[in-house]
Each structure stands twice: as C-alpha cells, then as structure tokens.
Amino acid sequence: MKESCYGCSTCASADKPLEGFIAKLSVETSHHRVDSQSTKCGFGLQGLCCRLCANGPCRITPNSPRGICGAGPDVLVARNLLRAVASGSGCYIHVIENTALNLRNTALEKGRLKGPAALEKLCKLFGLSGAGDHEKALQVADAVLKDLYKPWYVKMELLEKIAYPPRFKKWQELGILPGGAVSEVYKGVVKCSTNLNSDPVNMLLDCLKLGISTGVYGLTLTNLLNDVLLGEPEIRTAPVGLRVIDPEYINILITGHQHTMFVDLQERLTSPEVIKKANAAGAKGFKLVGCTCVGQDLQLRGAHYTDIFDGHAGNNYTSEAILGTGGIDAVLSEFNCTLPGIERVCDALLIKQICIDDVAKKANAELKPFVFADRAKQSNEIIDAVLASYKNRRPKIKLNLFPDHGNVSTLTGVSEGSLRKFLGGSWQPLIDLILSGDIKGLAGVVGCSSLVSGGHDVLTVDLVKELIAKDILILTAGCSSGGIENCGLMTPEAADLAGPKLKGVCKKLGIPPVLNFGPCLAIGRLEIVATELAEALKIDIPQLPLALSAPQWLEEQALADGCFGLALGLPLHLGLPPFVTGSKVAVQVLSKDMISLTGGQVILNNNAKESADLLDKIILEKRAALNI
C-alpha cells in the first residue's frame, strides 16, 4: 500500500505511473478504500451464507451444517452461483435487446448502416434475404428479437445456425439448449428462490444453459449487430491512457456497454453548428474520451470516428483518475462498469453526469432515457447541458493533467474479420504458425479489472507477461484490456518481452504479442475465432491449443461469460474462486467433472507464474493430442 495525499493508503497497480498519480489525488477513489475493506466475510467467500428468507440469514459451519430450512452447503453454493449467473446473463440480454431494437428502428427510418458486409454475413448466417439493406436489417433485428422473447420451453431458432455443430450436438446431449434468452433469465431466478430447487448439479447445469444464451446472443450477436450499425473494426494504432485528454476541447467521458446509444450524439457533435457553439465557449470543439467497455468499442472502431474520439483513457478502476485530471466536463453513462464512487469525484470537480439508461442511474446524475424517435432532440439537450458544465467549471477547476501516461502506438481494431484480413483472407497463416510451434498456442485473457489479486490489474498484467514469454499469443477483451494496453503490452515494441519464437513472429508481422479485441462483449469475437480455427482443422473447440483466463473477474456478468467458456469446452483460469469453495460438489463439478461433460474446467490460482505454468501445460497437452 502507498500513502496518498488523501490521507490513507492506495492499492498497488500494474500501471505504476497511474498508481503514483492516484496517490497524489486530493479526492477519494476506490483505490483508497481497498485497505478499509480488506477484512472479508469468510462465509461469503465460500458461498456459505443465505438470506433468502426470514429465518435467516443462515451460515453454514461445522457445528451447524444446514440452514433452518435444511439446505446444506452444496445447495447454498449452487443456488448463489445460479442467481449470480442469471443476473449477469440478464445484463447482457439487456444489451443485445437494446442493440437489436436500435438496429430495427434504424432500418425502419432508413438510417445509415455503416457495415453492409456485416449485414450480408448475418443474412447468410440466418438464411434471410431482402430487397435492400434496410429490409435485410429489419429482418435480422426481428429474428434476434423473436428468439430473445421466446418462452423458456421453446428453443431459440438461431442458435443452431450460429453455434459450431459439434458444440451444438454436445449441448443437445447434455440437455442444456436454452429457450428464449429473456425467459431463461427469469427461469434461473425462479429456480434459485427459497425452498425450490435443492439439486446442486441441476442448478450448475442451468448455469451452463445461461452461459450459452449469454454468449451466443449477449456477446457474439451483439458484436455482429454493432458491426452493421457502427462499422466493422479496422486494425490501426492509436493513443491510450490519460494522455488522450485534450484540455482545448470540451471532453465527455463515456462509460458503459451500449455503443449504439451514442450514434446520433457522435455525429451531431462534429456538425458545424455544434462546433461553432464550442468555439463560442472558448473550446476547439467536442471530444469523446473512452472509458470501460464502450470506450473500448469506440477504440475498436476508431477508424470510423477519428473526428470525435480522442482515445481510450482506461478501464473501470481508472475512471476516477480520469476524472481527477480535471479535464473531463461531463460523464455520459448507459450501463456498467460505471462506479458509484465517481459521484463524489464529479461533485468535487463540478462534472455534469447524465445517464441515458435508467439501469445505470447515478444518485446525483440527470436521467435522460434514450428514446430512438427523440434522439435528435435528446442529443441537442445533452450538448447544451455539457456546454453549460464546461462554461461553469473550467474557470473554477485547476487542471491536473497527465500527458505522459499511456502510449501513442497501441494496436487496436482487431476482430475476427480484421485479423483474418490481415492474415491474407484466411486463418491458414496462423494455423501454420501454431503447427510449426512458432506460436505455441493461444490464450484469451479476458474480463474485468479488479483491485484484488495483487491490486489494480496486477495479476492480469503479470500473467500476460508470463504467457507471452512462453510463446503463447494473447487475445484480450474487456476492462482487462485497458490495463494491459496502458502498460504498453499492445505496442509493437512489446514483442521484446515475448519468447524467442513469438518474438520473431511479432517482429516479422509488426504486431504486439497481445491482440486487443476490445470490450468484454468481444469475448463473442474470440468464440468466432475459436470456432473458425476448429472448423479449419476439422476438430472440436476443446481440442484447440487454447486456454481462457479471467484472472481478475469482478462482476456477475463475468460469471455468465465464464459459463459460456465452460460450455464451449475451454479450460478457464480464475485468480479467485467465484464463492463456491464451501461446496465439495460445486468444486468437483466445476474443476473435474466438467472435463467429461463439456471438455472445460475451472482452474484456480492467484500466482501469475504458477497460473502461466498450468495453462502452458494444458496447451502442450492439447498440442500432443493433435500430434503437433
């Protein structure tokens, strides 16, 4: 812990310059509160507490092995996990629902569709045709919404068209093909309510079912719909870190996951009349500053938004530091990971907060729910509110900028499409490098950023360094990407940190050993890469020399992501257990039995070197099984 100007210790960060910056801030941040919350509830850590009824809360101990109702540790743990996975799945289904609705409304109004090739891909995938792009987009959106709203007892039609056939067959054999994604969430919540299901294995299988609907719809399809509306990612280099904040502009920090809600505002902010308003207030114009996953998505598609997007500043636990520069004039949020802690920072620095989705409503923020039909009016109102904030606060607030933070050459814009294009139009060059051993295997390092497991991004960054040193190519998605890129591991120069074979590949191709696929939603893109590689090799996904790690998972959404990974049959490494260690059955199913069920397994380890050794061993075993 490091003493700060605020008067208490701050937690460690993999990003040492950022750690020093936060230590000098005069406002309290989450980094300051880590020490005061260091004593954890032992029952909660193991998943052994229940407060579902008035007889409780009950806690399981050696002297009291069952709750008053009779539920034992296995029931409590499985029920708590299913409830968390259902909640996380609901978050992602909320995002795909809004995205599909925005695509539908855009099609009805014959608005601009920036990804015609992505639209054609979806039409081919779904077996749809239409007279023009808008009719096709309407059919695609309606097909997704129809599937989402099916009852739980009616299987989703698109799943078989999207899923890799060997995986679909396995899910069918296990009886975990989901019905309508919305109703699967409520079914999961019902099942883990008081005095209902008491079969822990049954509940754990439902976690896999929710993982499938979450992954295929909330992750994979959200990305593909976004490609239609927002334009497909293009590989380029871009600046990252606090350096992207330009004080000569009116800066809006965006947080959340729902990029399609910003489309009209993005375009309006660059119009001559709006720039003229900014000039009259003494600024050059407006800029969007990226934070959390929506910032990662804007960075991913930044080639389409160079006139408005300044760059990605950082992840969820960098957000308070971004605000602490004084260079942000407003926060526009529409989903997580928008920390409650930013409220006090915004108050102290007179920063306007606006929420455009009530699920992300902050206590001291103005709520302006996004309504597609009123988007022009709402955009203008947001612009006027941000202008007023800028005029009010800038004369009163002393800037505390950090122009040297981050770097100027992070590789971004990586997707399954742009990477395949970079490789010449097929996956064969990557397959050849894997077969030759120049790339030993792939590791998807994904998910959140947290302040445990060593501190802010510490385990994540250390694990990535260990893996690339073993000639394992890293694919990232989520808030973890924000920390990795700010630490310089996504610049071409990071090739020097890789093992000799991977280093040679990176130097030859001019790429870093860590490829950034963008937001946590892009875990769905990694699934597409895995599927297409497996298809090219004529094997199932679990046979690939591929491992998955969410070293510093944070939220219930991450648990739903993890269940998708397990359903795909991938080994899943976590730095901390998801509150299941109090159940022998849950531990057995997740870490051992899962191998025979889906091919996946949960691996727990919070030491970077040991974790890298475990994942390396798994990749070598998979290579041996393929005789490579």
pLDDT at 3: 59
Q: Using the 8-state DSSP alphabet, how is residue 216 labeled?
A: I
pLDDT at 28 over 90: yes
Q: Which amino acid is at 172?
A: Q
Instruction: Give 376-413 pLDDT, tens digit per residue.
Output: 999 999 999 999 999 999 999 999 999 999 999 999 99
H or E, element range at 2: strand 2-3
pLDDT at 8: 61
DSSP structure string for 553-619: --SHHHHHHHHHHHHHT-EEEESS--S-TT-HHHHHIIIIIHHHHTS-EEEE---HHHHHHHHHHHH
* % of the chain exceeding 70 in pLDDT: 99
The alpha carbon torsion through 586, 591, 596, 600 (nearest 10 deg) reads 120
Q: List alpha helices for 238-373, DSSP H.
A: 263-268, 272-280, 292-300, 319-324, 342-348
Instruction: Give 512-552 pLDDT, tens digit per residue.
Output: 999 999 999 999 999 999 999 999 999 999 999 999 999 99
Instruction: Give 59-82 pLDDT, tens digit per residue.
Output: 999 999 999 999 999 999 999 999
Name the region of 564 (left: φ>0; alpha: ψ -120 to 50; beta: rest).
Answer: alpha
pTM given for the model: 0.97
Q: Using the 8-state DSSP alphabet, how is residue 214 labeled?
A: I
pLDDT at 9: 77
Closest-CA residue to 370 (of 477, 456, 277, 261): 261
Q: Which residues does 12 contact at the CB level (< 8 Å), separation at least 6?
A: 1, 2, 19, 454, 455, 456, 458
Q: pLDDT band at 99, cuts 50/70/90? A: very high
CB of 568 within 8 A of CB of 537? Answer: no
Q: What is the mean pLDDT of the chain?
A: 96
The neighbour count for residue 501, using CB atoms within 10 Å, is: 16
Geometric angle at alpha carbon 617, from 613 and 621, rounded to 5°? 170
* % of the chain exceeding 90 in pLDDT: 97
- H, E, C per residue of 544-555: CCEEEEECCCCC
pLDDT at 5 over 90: no
Geometric angle at alpha carbon 121, from 533 and 419, rounded to 5°? 40
Could you identify the residue written with the tokens 């007889």?
55
**C-alpha–C-alpha distance, residues 417 and 414, integer Å:** 8
H or E, element range at 148: helix 133-148
Q: Using the 8-state DSSP alphabet, how is residue 470 labeled?
A: T
pLDDT at 6 over 80: no
pLDDT at 127 over 70: yes
Q: pLDDT band at 336, cuts 50/70/90? A: confident
Could you identify the residue written with the tokens 């296990």?
174
Task: List domains and CATH numbers for the chain.
Answer: 2-37 (no CATH), 70-230 (1.20.1270.30), 242-393 (3.40.50.2030), 414-625 (3.40.50.2030)
- In the chain, what's the furthest Cα-to-Cα distance? 72
Q: How many residues does the chain have?
A: 628
**C-alpha–C-alpha distance, residues 449 and 316, integer Å:** 7
